[in-house]
């Protein structure tokens, strides 16, 4: 019985060391408000960078959420139709 436990432990250790058990990376839950009023989140496949805005990025980061450190930037109101 001990022999089976040792073999199983060694196989598990080999899998972990070889990288076969990779876990998905988690990003902070923040939203970036785009110039058109839509929002995008962080992408774990892109080193937790924000996804691009649908209409392009103006370079202004209006970020909501995160760790609560700092003042929220409120986007300008949308034009009335």
pLDDT in tens, 4-61: 777 777 777 666 666 555 566 788 888 898 888 888 999 988 899 999 998 655 555 5
Q: How far apart are CA 33 and CA 38, in angstroms?
A: 6
Residue 76 in this model has a pLDDT that exceeds 80: no
**Which segments of 1-81 does DSSP mark as H helices, in order?**
2-18
- β-partners of residue 42 are 50
Predicted local distance difference test score (pLDDT) of residue 69: 46
């Amino acid at each position: 019985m001990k022999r089976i436990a040792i073999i199983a432990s060694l196989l598990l250790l080999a899998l972990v060391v070889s990288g076969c058990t990779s876990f998905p990376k988690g990003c902070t839950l923040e939203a970036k408000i785009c110039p058109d009023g839509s929002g995008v989140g962080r992408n774990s496949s892109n080193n937790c960078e924000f996804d691009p805005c649908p209409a392009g990025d103006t370079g202004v980061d209006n970020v909501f959420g995160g760790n609560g450190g700092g003042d929220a930037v409120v986007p300008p109101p949308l034009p009335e139709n």
